Each structure stands twice: as structure tokens, then as C-alpha cells.
Amino acid sequence: MAKDAPASGTVTYEDQKKINMFARKNARLEELMEEIKEKKKEMQNLEDAADDLMMLDDDSGPVPYLIGEVFISHSMEETEELIENAKSKLQREIEKLEKSTTEIKSVMDGLKVKLKAKFGDQINLEHDEEE
């Protein structure tokens, strides 16, 4: 057998590159999933705030709204608009993150097919899905 010919199950440089890429994509996927989870929690908080705002009287005075680390008082209409703008922005961010996760999963699936074809059950390429 030639020295440079890979034996069955031997990991070549190209195989190692694919394995490393899978691992990097998996780590990035986990980061994105955590970020999506946080953004969805933030969205729920905004929706709760909007619901609470609807329960207030129109003449209850200025409504405090957190901007950064400071509460600023606004009229009810301004606060509603700020909440809706924040929700829209957050929804766009969530959609962008979800698109990225779909793209990463697609790349990972392609790598998984190639690596499983060569190594079969000798390689574990499972990623956790905690949605």
C-alpha cells in the first residue's frame, strides 16, 4: 500500500478541514440560537409593556420609557410608537438571525453528508436543537 494513499477511515487534511468547519458552524449556530432566544424574550417584554400601556388611562400623565439606562417620560402616544418601533426593529433582527441559522444548518447538512459517507458511524456530527 502506498504511503500517501489514505486507508479506509483515515482522516485526510481535507477531511479535517471539513470537520473543523462543521465544528465552527455548530458553535456559531449555538450562539445564534441563544441570541434568538434572548431577542424573543425581549420581544415578549415589549408585548407585555404594550399590553400594560393599553390598560392605562389616556390622562394618566407621562409614561416612563427606558432608553439605555435612563427612563424618559413621554406621552402615551409617543410611548406606544416607541414600543412599536422597537418591536419592528427586534422582529427584523430575529428574522435576520433565523435566516443565518438556516444558512448555517444547510452548510452543516452538506458537510455531514460528505463526512458520514466517508466515515459512517465512526464520526459523531450531531448538533443540539433546543428551539
Q: How many folded domains does the chain comprise?
A: 1
Read off the pLDDT of residues 28-69 as tens digits, 9 standing for 90 and up: 999 999 999 999 999 999 999 899 888 887 667 788 888 888
For residue 21, what are the contacts with CB-CB under 8 A and spacing of at least 6? 107, 111
Expressed as residue numbers, the domain containing 91 is 13-119
Residue 33 lies in a domain: yes
What CATH code is carried by the domain that includes residue 22? 1.10.287.370
d(CA 22, CA 14): 12
110 found inside a domain: yes
- Domain assignment of residue 91, yes or no: yes
pTM: 0.78
What type of residue sits at position 82? L
The reply to whether 51 falls in a domain is: yes
39 in any annotated domain: yes
